[in-house]
Amino acid sequence: MVTVRAPATSANLGSGFDVFGAALSRPADVVTVEKAAETTIEVTGVGAQYIPEDPEKNTVGAVVEALDAPARIHIDKGVRPASGLGSSAASAAGAAVALNRLYDRGLSREELVPIAAEGEAVVSGVAHSDNVAPSILGGFTVTTAEGTRSVDAAIPLVVCLPDVAVSTRDARRVVPETASMDALVETVGNAATLAIGMCRSDPDLVGLGMDDPVVTPERARLITGYDEVRQRAFDAGATGVTVSGAGPAVIAACREHDRREIAAAMLDAFDGVGIDARAYQSRIGRGSTVLDE
């Protein structure tokens, strides 16, 4: 038996659409696997009632098939589905790391990323790695067709999750198919600024680099109260604010001593538009961790 803690993640971080990702110190899924002749999946925890336990419909089933590693699998969800915090990716990442260890497949963490991404395709329709990469590797990740690079970074974060759902499929439908040259240049400059900020663990540069004039404005329209939440976070000291992944979670980069006030301000802003929400005072954290075997 192997048990793995797989962290929530934030993809895109504004300017890095389908490329950037970051592991969050909280929340997380906990995945336990045990060898079996036939794969079965049990799901408990946050939003478990919305997650199929049929291996053909669960992200973990594709991971089992790719690793040829049948098992009894228990997923304790700490990352709510349809949150913009890599819920399906956390389960897939945790299963990939756990099954690789259980069956002694000997694959590196980097080699497990595309395997976990196949699990993501079950839910989103596309095998993107921008969430599974940080959930497996930890830190700040940059994923391209050539692979994934990661760097440790010490950036305090606040994640505010409203009690509404935005599906990845719906969020992808609103992504513009074209962008102006000015918007492209601005986005590339911001992405480069954010990457330098991560390498330096500089929350000011990271926040400055989160701005994105192309994708984020369209996705923000799917989140009631987003503009007010964003402004209130800045007023409380955030250095940057954007939609986390497909949303509806909103993520703010900040300095350590401002996290509590920013969390309270974001919660209050959602409450002002009649939406309950939960705030996580988080930071860029570790990847999937083996807890027990």
Residue numbers annotated as active site: 120, 168
**248 preceded by cis ω (within 30°)?**
yes
Structure tokens at 24: 């969050």
In angstroms, the CA 217 to CA 233 distance is 17
Phi and psi at residue 83, in whole multiples of 5°? -110, -20
In angstroms, the CA 217 to CA 197 distance is 23
In angstroms, the CA 146 to CA 72 distance is 34
Is the distance from CB of 146 to CB of 135 less than 8 angstroms?
Answer: no
In angstroms, the CA 241 to CA 230 distance is 6
> Locate tokens 């930071």: which residue?
283
Is the distance from CB of 239 to CB of 268 less than 8 angstroms?
Answer: no
Buried b / exposed e along 210-228 (16+ C-beta atoms within 10 A): bbbbbbbeebbebbebbeb
**55 preceded by cis ω (within 30°)?**
no
In angstroms, the CA 282 to CA 253 distance is 10
DSSP state, 15?
T
* 180 exposure class (CB count in 10 Å sphere: 0-12, 13-18, 19+): exposed
